[in-house]
Structure 1
Amino acid sequence: MRLGPALQLILALTLAALPARSEEVRAEFLGSFEWAVPQRWFGGLSGIELSEDGQRMAVITDRGRILYANVRRKDGVIQEINLIRVVSLRAHNGAVLIGRLRDSEGLVVAPDGTVYVSFEGIHRVSRYRQIDRASESLNRPKAFRLLPNNGGFEALAMDDRQRLLALPEQAFDIDGNIPVYRWADDVWTQPFCLPSDGAFLPVGADFGPDGRLYVLERAYNIFGFRSRVRSWRIADDRAVDERIEIQTRTGTHDNLEGISVWQDTRGRLRLTMVADDNFLFLQRTEFVEYALIK
């Protein structure tokens, strides 16, 4: 979701003045890192995938670009991010995406290197067998066409059977739950929902090495952003054993929208999240990391 210019400015000015605080944390905060690239196209990072060792990264902007980078750490904490490649996403006809077509939000990199991207504007999920070539658009059922203009698929994840899960940000069902759409055997189904209290909206998702589905959620008001990560075990087309892993107070972090879950050398599960700066100079492209406490 992109915020209007007036609300962006109010949020940014407020965030700059707020201290970092955490409301409820089941995880250890490891640190944050602000990334800056001196190019006008840089910003709006909304999805992230890390390698198994946390040293290589792919991130997606909400203006149709994928960035590949190396991550240098010291004692496990990010010290530097080095950009190595930038790719502009293409449509099914090979043309570079422009306008409403390029509002890319969610990112999945499959084990074979195939890239999947979810889009708002024209709500869809596209497959890239080669990231610098034409896309293949997975079919668009009627439910996708009815998604809110700025509330579509920000959260995209892939399970260990290589089935995609896509979560709309704002299209809750009649009971107020989050519908989960699944791509398997070349068809979309909607096998289950996730409970929601309405205060937080889903903006990122990933399956961890433990097989659990982790969903990053965001809430905001004129005073800033709050973030929450919940996780579930998916069994027999049901989401069970819900856990709240992280819940922050307003201003703890910037506008976190993307999440990658991986295991470090100490055997801890890590949550690496990235903030969308909305291309506003007073906000930050911030990477935030937590280690889960079990």
Structure 2
Amino acid sequence: MRRRSSVALSAAALLLLAGCAAPERAIHLGSTAIGIDNPRSGGFSALEVTEGGARLIAVSDRAVLLRARIEREGARITGLSQVALTDLPGRDSTVPENSDAEGLATDGDRLWISYEQRHRVLVLPGGRELPRPPDTRVLPPNRGLEALAIDARKDLYALPEWPVDGGFPVYRFDGASWAVAGILPRRGRFVPAGADFGPDGALYVLERVFVGVGFRSRVRRVTFGDGTIAAEETLLSTPPGRHGNLEGIAVWTDAGGTLRMTMIADDNFMPFQRNEIVEYALP
């Protein structure tokens, strides 16, 4: 009886791992730890890569902005240099619910930063607060505007971590007001963690789920039609523990014309979680 149970459990485990190891279209180029000796370094929840992969901007869920140069050996990231950590406007370590920055987007001159707990989007420089997207009143405190992205027309897009009516609304801000650009279908238990528009005009959505032994990550490429989502495809679906708690994503083209996807992990300032940068090549 024990042997049969053991065999059954082993078979079930194999089936589970097989389900996790879905075919991947993205090619892993490497991962590296973020070795910044500063107590404010950690909790990175959003990412932008600029200057053709030479520099990055990231924000932490303690309202700290990171700017740095990306060091590489060939195609692989080896570390960061020229590191600068600055506090975001209004950062208050005594009121953490006001400092929980989760999303980041930039057009080169301005930064947009989304916060959960107290749901809002700020524009830098200046710290102006945008009108709030619809439905934010129904979002739980820790499941707010998790992802931000900006398209070629400089329209801003935001995704919450909490589903509304069975899917994740993709809010679009045209400079005056918010509207729903489409509903991203919820597939499995994954929830949005980050987003970025690639040079191809598609929206890349990073999702995650905690499965007890680690995090799984998934990336979907989304294209929009006339006021709705026209198509979606899964480019990456990782097994548990391959990476840390990936929350930020940037999609860009390198000098050779390869589409790359750079992601950053939120270690929640916990010593047993990974503070890392991960990079993939995309088809």
Aligned to 1:90: 89
Contact 1:261–1:271 (8 Å) recurs in 2: yes
Does residue 60 of the first structure (1) align with residue 59 of the second (2)?
yes
1:142 Cα offset (Å): 5.5
Q: Return the alpha-carbon distance in structure 1 between the equivalents of residues 36 and 147 of structure 2.
A: 25
How far is 1:268 from its partner? 1.1
String of CA shifts for 1:118-167, please: whole Å, max 9, x gaps.
00110011111x2xxx4100012562232111101111100111011100
Q: How has the CA–CA distance of structure 1 residues 141 and 241 changed in structure 2, closer, same or farther, with 3 Å as cutoff? A: closer
The equivalent residue for 1:44 is: 43
Equivalent residue number for residue 285 of structure 1: 275
| Alignment equivalent of 2:113, drawn from 117, 121, 133 | 117
The offset of 1:185, in angstroms, is 3.2
Q: Distance in 2 between matches of 1:40 and 1:185?
A: 37
User: Which runs of structure 2 are paired with 1:89-238 in the superposition (5 Å)?
Assistant: 89-91=88-90, 96-98=91-93, 99=95, 100-111=97-108, 113-128=109-124, 130=125, 134-141=126-133, 143-170=135-162, 172-174=163-165, 176-238=166-228
Q: The residue matched to 1:181 in structure 2 has which SS?
A: strand
For 2:182 and 2:154, the matched residues in 1 are separated by 17
- Of stretches 230-239 and 214-223 in structure 1, the one that deviates more from structure 2 is 230-239
1:5-16 mapped onto 2 (5 Å cutoff):
none
Q: Give SS of 2:154's match.
A: coil
Task: Look up the equivalent residue of 1:173 and give its one-letter code.
Answer: V
Are 2:134 and 2:178, in contact at CA under 8 Å, matched by a contact in 1? Answer: no
Structure 1 residue runs of 5 or longer lacking an equivalent are 1-20
Of 225, 229, 249, 1:239 maps to 229
CA–CA distance in 2 between the matches of 1:103 and 1:206? 20
CA contact (8 A) 2:247 2:265 kept: yes
Tell me the secondary structure at the aligned position of residue 53 of structure 1. Answer: helix
Alpha-carbon distance in 2 for matches of 1:141, 1:81: 35
CA contact (8 A) 1:254 1:275 kept: yes
Using structure 2 for the length normalisation, give the TM-score.
Answer: 0.89
- Alpha-carbon distance, 1:90 to partner: 0.9
Q: What's the offset of the Cα at 1:191?
A: 2.9
- Aligned match of 2:15: none
Which residues of structure 2 form unaligned runs of 5+? 1-19
The structure whose RCO (Cα within 8 Å, separation 6+) is larger is 1
Distance (Å, rounded) in 1 between the aligned partners of 2:119 and 2:106: 19
2:199 match: secondary structure: coil
Shift of 1:86: 1.7
- Quick one: structure 1 residues 88 and 161, their matched pair in 2 at CA, closer, same or farther if it must change by over 3 Å? same
> 2:69 touches 2:81 (CA, 8 Å); kept in 1?
yes
Question: Residue 106 of structure 1 aligns to which amino acid in structure 2?
Answer: G
Q: Cα distance 1:173–1:146, how it changes in 2: closer, same or farther (>3 A)? A: closer
**C-alpha displacement of 1:52:** 4.0
Q: Which residue of the partner structure matches residue 255 of structure 1?
A: 245
